[in-house]
Structure 1
Amino acid sequence: MYTNKKENPRDKEIQNDTKGRRSFIKKVGLGGLSLAGLTAASANEQLSYVSQNVNRNSSPSTLKITDMRIAEIGGDVAFRTPIVRIYTNQGIVGHGDVRDGAAKEYALFLKSRILGENPCNVERLFGIIKQFGFHGRQGGGVSAVEMALWDLAGKAYNVPVYQMLGGKYRDKVRLYCDTTVSKDANEYANRMQARIDQGYTALKMDIGINLIKDIPGAIINSPDADYNPYRYEYRSYNLTKHPFTRVQITDKGIDLLMEYLDVMRSKIGYDIPMGTDHWGHFGVNEAIKIARATEPYNLAYIEDIIPWQYTEQWKEITQSSTTPTQTGEDIYRLEGGFEELIKTRSVDIVHPDPNTAGGILETKKIGDFASRHGIGFMHHHAAGPVSFIGCVHSAAATENFMWLEHHAVDKNDWENLVTGFEGPIVKDGYVTVPEKPGIGVELNEEVVKKHLIKGEKLFAPTPEWDKIRAWDRLWS
């Protein structure tokens, strides 16, 4: 037995081995390493080199989910957005956002389904929870959890999410941004020019019957008519699906709407792609009128001019005009959602929001399917920066991707909600694809605290959601 006063030969061996590894890695860092150099190195040197980037704080095969909590933000920093945090037995955490305007309970309901599971089995866990999502905001819970799982898996294996999706097609992701509305056409155009001056190379404007509803003779059966078409209804105009409002746009109304496009193009020119959204609630005939009227202005797309579910009507609009059509921000998953729209070529562009569509991988699958059918592919987004960067990974990993929406251009503290990004997140209308593990950012808890919804606590315990109280099987 060796005492403390005598030198242990094994200690000396370890010291020499450590010095050798350090010397070897130092030489590698200075001069690089060729394949021949690696082959000639000792076994210990080879092991040190190839494993130097492995995350030794995590053992992926034994990683387990131990908790899930929520911090809900809103106000002047973002649309109301519940942030999900998933905890593990190894101290690493993963984050995702529930869809803007969705309920945090959509995510909390899933907690009991994933506790004790290995978060690295993302696709398997998605198979367990996907039945609890649906179209619109109801897809927000499943999508947030899926995104947080990818964040954890990337951190566990020390690679960015895009790498686990098969690698990237681009180093920077191109953005498009909304522009605040003005009833003054010239002021509206000036605001769009200001976006270009900020570096954005693709834009979208909200234009529709709300801009002309007060002008006599422009709109038939307007929701703001003197006789109020909804005074005896239990539903309001904005909760009435488009075909059932019986709103019509007159020739005068069409001319007034086209004036906005004319002034816009006169101001910003034709080099910048310009899409449009929020036209109003009306049926397929009015949509065709608008699509045809906009042709001289070469719009990039008209978005959600009728509800996405009316596949045949979308196809009729698409085939009636050369103006591209687009929908998808409220569709959940490829199967039962985007699949029919794409296969039938009912629209020219699909526009999933990863926070509704089912998360990062499901969104990539939608993009790949669209590519095989010659359909364009964009991303909608209007939540916090965590899921925004998650969208960047999906966009980077999908070949036919076009543009990602940035809906927080005027939110001064939005980027400050996270840390870890090199420089500003958005620069000259692009986002550089992160190379850090997972999604690539962490929460700045002090800033998150500033913007919590009134009465909300920062990641308060949620033990009431720990146990399953239902039988989930969908077959007998």
Structure 2
Amino acid sequence: MNKNSSSNGRRSFLKKMGLGGLSLAGFTLAPMQDQVAYATQNVQQNSSPSDLKITDLRVTRVLRTPIIRIYTNQGIVGHGDVRDIGDYRYALMLKSRILGQNPCNVEKLFKIISQFGHHGRQGGGVSGVETALWDLAGKAYGVPVYQMLGGKYRDKVRIYCDTTMSKDPQEYARRMQERVDAGYTSLKMDIGISLVEDVEGALVNAEFWKNRPGGMSGWNSIPGSYSNTEHPFTRVQVTEKGIDKLMEYVDVMRSQIGYEIPMGTDHWGHFGVNEAIKLARAAEPYNLAYMEDLIPWTYTNQWKRITDSTTTPTQTGEDIFMLKGGFKELIDNQAINVIHPDPVGCGGLLETKKIGDYAQKQGIPMQLHHASSPVSFLGAVHAAAATENFLWLEHHFVDTPWYDDLVTGVKKPIVQDGYVPVPEKPGLGVELNEEVVKKHMDQEIGFFEPTPEWDESQSWDRLWS
């Protein structure tokens, strides 16, 4: 029998077996080559993981989030996000360090690039590349990312959602109720001294900052502004009147949504540890799920003072890069009640799990921050599924109607009755909807344009002599 007739015979055999079903007797009596062909017909053969090589890294940007794409010599690509409002060049500078490498060696490559990450948005490049490597490895081996992280503890991941601020407490409560009606079972409200900055007698030393460039906005890049002065150094204080006004918002929220739903708070403002303690104590009757980022995460001893002074749970961590970069000290000192890494900034998916696992040994649960694209949102779902002490994952774009349309491969809506089903497809389980991304992308950066200027390293990276 010549090669062609043999091949045609196997195809005919497989076709017959596929149409009529293959009995055990029929299988065992078939020629060995046909048995092998039938048994392996569903095995992924479009990639050879051991021969996989990285050939390129490019970026686009949507929703203030740089999305990276890593290309390979076998045609499969992996995606990841640089953290929201982060610089896409945090990822591009890593390109020369990973070109030609096998993306399946995730830990090896992470050790090469992790020295270029840092806290805040500066961890976004490393985290985005790490996520894209897991996406590639999962696709190469035909398994979902959570499986490579050790398996899953849950089939669906619970979501908490943010709520846009309003100075009208009743309007704010109405917006919160909309979240409940949409099926969310965990909420967060932004509340802080900006709500009472115009109330006479509510704050001390506020006028000084209001008369400086940037005013009391917490979001500007002006050096020396209130926004860029760490909390202990603003010397802003909250009076009893100010505290009462702020608690009115919390009271209206609880009166509207009740006490069954966990409700956390964020964006309180820039003030010192004593003010934080006063506010946390005042909030105790409302049983908040947490008060987030009351002071910078770097002040471990001050965090412990706050935590030890109140029954209101404390939480921080979205700006910390890696377990040993800051989480470990907070956890070891029992300085906070809940850790709050962002998988798009803390070092990626495996680092997120390591942080959660370490915290669990000290009796501390983990909640995940997220405000980036659906790519890393689903990546965070994998990390959450694989970590036992996980609580809730943030959904920051509830009010963006085309958010889900940016990706394909998962059932829509992505969030179903307050939960996200864990993807079962290889890798992250999603691909970009290129048409929708192009519609909403940053035109200045473009859609994964070539980046040859980042192909070669211009530095000697070794940290020791």
Q: Which amino acid aligns with 2:453?
A: E
Q: Which amino acid aligns with 2:399?
A: D
Q: Which amino acid aligns with 1:173?
A: V
Contact conserved, 1:249 with 1:286, CA < 8 A, in 2?
A: yes
- Does the C-alpha gap of structure 1 residues 225 and 393 become closer, same or farther in structure 2, counting only changes over 3 Å? closer
Match of residue 107 from structure 1: 91
Please say if 1:246 is aligned against 2:229. no
- Write the mapping of 1:387-426 to structure 2, written as runs, cut at 5 A: 387-426=376-415
Aligned counterparts of 2:39 and 2:382: Cα–Cα separation in 1 = 25
Match of residue 152, structure 1, among 116, 127, 136: 136
Aligned counterparts of 1:63 and 1:266: Cα–Cα separation in 2 = 57
Unpaired runs of 5+ in structure 1? 1-7
Contact conserved, 1:160 with 1:439, CA < 8 A, in 2?
A: yes
Aligned counterparts of 1:94 and 1:229: Cα–Cα separation in 2 = 43
- Write the mapping of 1:52-201 to structure 2, written as runs, cut at 5 A: 52-73=41-62, 78=63, 80-201=64-185
Match of residue 439 from structure 2: 450
- Does the C-alpha gap of structure 1 residues 343 and 10 become closer, same or farther in structure 2, counting only changes over 3 Å? same
Aligned counterparts of 2:20 and 2:309: Cα–Cα separation in 1 = 66
Q: Give the C-alpha shift of residue 14 in structure 1.
A: 3.9
Aligned counterparts of 1:40 and 1:274: Cα–Cα separation in 2 = 64
Match of residue 357 from structure 2: 368
Contact conserved, 1:219 with 1:253, CA < 8 A, in 2?
A: yes
> What's the CA shift string for 1:179-199, capped at 9, x where partnerless?
011111111111101100011
Contact conserved, 2:404 with 2:412, CA < 8 A, in 1?
A: no
Contact conserved, 1:98 with 1:141, CA < 8 A, in 2?
A: yes
- Does the C-alpha gap of structure 1 residues 454 and 324 become closer, same or farther in structure 2, counting only changes over 3 Å? same
Q: Give the C-alpha shift of residue 329 in structure 1.
A: 0.4
Q: Give the C-alpha shift of residue 343 in structure 1.
A: 1.3
Please say if 1:437 is aligned against 2:429. no
Contact conserved, 1:223 with 1:237, CA < 8 A, in 2?
A: no
2:246 is paired with a residue of what secondary structure? helix
Match of residue 218 from structure 2: none
Contact conserved, 1:21 with 1:44, CA < 8 A, in 2?
A: no
Contact conserved, 1:24 with 1:45, CA < 8 A, in 2?
A: no
Q: Give the C-alpha shift of residue 40 in structure 1.
A: 9.6
Say what the alpha-carbon RMSD is for the aligned residues: 2.3
Match of residue 220, structure 1, among 194, 204, 210: 204
- Does the C-alpha gap of structure 1 residues 401 and 187 become closer, same or farther in structure 2, counting only changes over 3 Å? same
- Does the C-alpha gap of structure 1 residues 462 and 256 become closer, same or farther in structure 2, counting only changes over 3 Å? same
> What's the CA shift string for 1:364-384, capped at 9, x where partnerless?
111111111110101100010
Contact conserved, 1:364 with 1:394, CA < 8 A, in 2?
A: yes
- Does the C-alpha gap of structure 1 residues 234 and 391 become closer, same or farther in structure 2, counting only changes over 3 Å? closer
Q: Which amino acid aligns with 1:324?
A: P
What TM-score, normalized by structure 1, do the two folds share? 0.92
2:55 is paired with a residue of what secondary structure? strand
Q: Which amino acid aligns with 1:83?
A: I
- Does the C-alpha gap of structure 1 residues 182 and 436 become closer, same or farther in structure 2, counting only changes over 3 Å? same
Contact conserved, 1:70 with 1:458, CA < 8 A, in 2?
A: yes
Match of residue 286, structure 2, among 279, 283, 297: 297
Q: Give the C-alpha shift of residue 26 in structure 1.
A: 5.9
Aligned counterparts of 2:389 and 2:18: Cα–Cα separation in 1 = 40
- Write the mapping of 1:267-416 to structure 2, written as runs, cut at 5 A: 267-416=256-405
Aligned counterparts of 2:27 and 2:331: Cα–Cα separation in 1 = 49
Match of residue 3 from structure 1: none
Q: Give the C-alpha shift of residue 22 in structure 1.
A: 4.7
1:139 is paired with a residue of what secondary structure? helix
- Does the C-alpha gap of structure 1 residues 436 and 217 become closer, same or farther in structure 2, counting only changes over 3 Å? same
What TM-score, normalized by structure 2, do the two folds share? 0.94
Aligned counterparts of 1:43 and 1:294: Cα–Cα separation in 2 = 72
Sequence identity (%)? 66
Q: Give the C-alpha shift of residue 422 in structure 1.
A: 2.3
1:356 is paired with a residue of what secondary structure? coil
- Does the C-alpha gap of structure 1 residues 186 and 42 become closer, same or farther in structure 2, counting only changes over 3 Å? farther
- Write the mapping of 1:204-219 to structure 2, written as runs, cut at 5 A: 204-219=188-203
> What's the CA shift string for 1:287-344, capped at 9, x where partnerless?
1001111010000000000000001111111111111000000000001221111111
Aligned counterparts of 1:328 and 1:182: Cα–Cα separation in 2 = 26
Match of residue 40 from structure 2: 51
Contact conserved, 2:213 with 2:225, CA < 8 A, in 1?
A: no
Aligned counterparts of 1:286 and 1:85: Cα–Cα separation in 2 = 45
Contact conserved, 2:231 with 2:271, CA < 8 A, in 1?
A: yes
Contact conserved, 1:221 with 1:229, CA < 8 A, in 2?
A: no
Q: Give the C-alpha shift of residue 227 in structure 1.
A: 5.9
Aligned counterparts of 1:351 and 1:234: Cα–Cα separation in 2 = 27
- Does the C-alpha gap of structure 1 residues 27 and 357 become closer, same or farther in structure 2, counting only changes over 3 Å? farther
Contact conserved, 2:158 with 2:392, CA < 8 A, in 1?
A: yes
Unpaired runs of 5+ in structure 2? 216-221
Q: Give the C-alpha shift of residue 52 in structure 1.
A: 3.8
Aligned counterparts of 1:463 and 1:313: Cα–Cα separation in 2 = 47
Aligned counterparts of 2:280 and 2:28: Cα–Cα separation in 1 = 64
Contact conserved, 2:353 with 2:387, CA < 8 A, in 1?
A: yes
Match of residue 473 from structure 1: 462
- Does the C-alpha gap of structure 1 residues 237 and 37 become closer, same or farther in structure 2, counting only changes over 3 Å? farther
> What's the CA shift string for 1:207-262, capped at 9, x where partnerless?
1100000001000011566765999x950001000000001100101101111111
Aligned counterparts of 2:434 and 2:287: Cα–Cα separation in 1 = 44
Aligned counterparts of 1:269 and 1:67: Cα–Cα separation in 2 = 52
